[in-house]
Homo-oligomer: A and B are copies of this chain.
Amino acid sequence: MRTSGETLDHFWAVVPAGGSGTRLWPLSRAGAPKFLHDLTSSGRTLVQSTWDRLVPLATPQRLLLVTGEVHARAVGDQLPQLERGNLLLEPSPRDSMAAIGLAAAVVHRRDPEAVVGSFAADHLIPDARAFGGAVRQAVAVAQQGSVVTIGIEPTSPSTGFGYIRTGDAMDVEGAPDAFRATGFTEKPDSATAQQYLATGDYRWNAGMFVSRADVLLGHLEAQLPQLHAGLLELAEAHEDLPAHKAADVVERVWPTLTKIAIDHAIAEPVAAAGGVAVVRGRFSWDDVGDWDALASLVPDLGTGSAVRVIGDLEHVVTQDSTGVVVPRGNRTVAVIGLDDVVVVDTDDAVLVTTRSRAQEVKQVVEALRAKGRADLL
């Protein structure tokens, strides 16, 4: 096994790349979800940035990606270094436990001492170094047998994220920021979120889980034995069978897998039993839930305009306006006299709304679905 100053021995990264991202329509589509887009005009798509953050820690040999069969080609195009055997394809969405569990089962066959870390393909984390430091601590804690999550220091009482409650510090060598996790919460209302912040005990749940593969599979076997058995069979087929025979197994087993998020399947019950740790992540993070969130995340490019442009500045003319313009239709977008406006221009659809109404984009997508406009979804 190769090691380097940064690379973590036995650390395997898993990237579940799913979701439709309807709240980022019309850029994000069923056929090209959020993770395939360069939402911030950084020059790299979200899944490419995720790769860039993880590969120094895991090497390409130990970086697996799980995605829908329909996205296989786009992922392959965007990540030419992704190894063939490290791309796991889902015939249909089965939620995060199946995706991560399958990857853990595959990894466990390859490296019985593996520590698996799962990280979404479509989050924004500008500071890769701070992220890597948190992963390093999480791996150190996970090697002791805990399931470890990285909890983000909240910077506002967001109602858009779930929270993790932290308990006592753990005193693990090399992990000064590790605490017991005493509970997970769903997205809170505003008053609750403010209470959470006031206590200082809560972290944002960024869906980052780090665990020894054997520990994760052990919890899965205890909680959901049938799902566990199905995933082991699929992992064996993926590793040992020729493609056409593996396909038969997938066709038979895949539809039987329980659809459940890893939070509900493992994190919550194991946390209740004291088996989950949280490492405090002191880096900025966002899941870019909608255009409003994205508008906050895009730096002012010094255009002298109060409108943030995500794309080619040459395509945008504004006058006395604030907000965000996303010119991706290769056309000129002119905005006059609107505050906190959101304009997203693509080849076949243009969205005009405000930052405060950005969440309602989802309903427009539903309206289009109801009208039979699958071509636009």
Interface residues of A (CB under 8 A from B): 26, 317, 319-320, 329, 331-338, 341, 343, 345-354, 356-357, 360-361, 363-364, 367-368, 371, 373, 376
Q: Which of chain B's residues have a CB closer than 8 A to the CB of A317?
A: 364, 367-368, 371
Copies in the complex: 2
Q: Which of chain B's residues have a CB closer than 8 A to the CB of A334?
A: 26, 349-353, 361, 364, 368
When the two chains form the complex, which single residue of B332, B353, B367 contacts A337, counting CB atoms closer than 8 Å?
B353
Question: What distance in Å separates the Cβ of A186 from its nearest Cβ neighbour in chain B?
Answer: 26
In the complex, A348→B347 CA distance in Å?
10
A337 touches B364 (CB 8 A): no
Can you name 28 A-B residue pairings with CB atoms under 8 Å?
A: A317-B367, A317-B368, A319-B364, A319-B367, A329-B331, A329-B350, A331-B346, A331-B349, A331-B350, A332-B349, A332-B350, A333-B349, A334-B351, A334-B352, A334-B353, A334-B364, A334-B368, A335-B352, A335-B353, A336-B361, A336-B363, A336-B364, A337-B353, A337-B356, A337-B360, A343-B350, A343-B352, A350-B350
A336 touches B350 (CB 8 A): no
In the complex, A350→B330 CA distance in Å?
11
Q: Which of chain B's residues have a CB closer than 8 A to the CB of A348?
A: 331-332
In the complex, A376→B316 CA distance in Å?
12
